């Protein structure tokens, strides 16, 4: 086996390990009280149930969010920046598009996303490795 093959094999093993760790985390998380598991693989916990309107996929929403890896490392947080983010709901990762359409304005949920609902096999920034499962606390402030 040449150096290129060894490096490629090591990369594939790391990708598989990241995927396996995330799927194991999600399998355990699904057993917790209060965690809802949808057919897509999306998991969520309702922290605060808002009673406002629910957005559609083509709406622009304003949210506060706090994103972590399954080991707790923060990779992005509008909360830490002190400024909410606004974006078209159909222009974000599919787990957000799915979850936020279920949330009424004023809701705060914790989302648990398997890789296929997050960034899949793509690297996203410095901390999010390919095949990463992600956790977000999302508060829907407005549509």
List active site positions: 65, 75-76, 93, 119, 136
With 0-12 / 13-18 / 19 or more C-beta atoms within 10 angstroms meaning exposed / middle / buried, residue 9 is exposed
Q: Work out the angle at residue 91's Cα, subtended by the Cα atoms of residues 86 and 94, and round it to the nearest 5 degrees.
A: 110
Which of these, 62, 89, 65, 95, lies nearest to 77 by C-alpha position?
65
* Paired strand residues for 124: 128
């Amino acid at each position: 086996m040449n150096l290129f093959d060894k490096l490629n094999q090591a990369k594939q093993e790391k990708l598989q390990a990241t995927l396996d760790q995330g799927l194991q985390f999600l399998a355990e998380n699904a057993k917790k009280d209060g965690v809802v598991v949808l057919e897509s693989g999306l998991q969520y916990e309702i922290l605060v149930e808002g009673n406002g309107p629910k957005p559609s996929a083509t709406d622009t929403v304003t949210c506060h969010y706090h994103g972590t890896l399954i080991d707790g490392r923060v990779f992005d947080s509008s909360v830490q920046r002190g400024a909410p983010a606004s974006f078209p709901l159909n222009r974000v990762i599919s787990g957000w598009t799915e979850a936020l359409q279920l949330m009424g304005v004023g809701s705060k949920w914790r989302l648990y996303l398997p890789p296929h609902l997050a960034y899949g096999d793509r690297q996203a920034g410095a901390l999010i490795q390919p095949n990463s499962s992600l956790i977000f606390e999302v508060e829907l402030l407005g549509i």
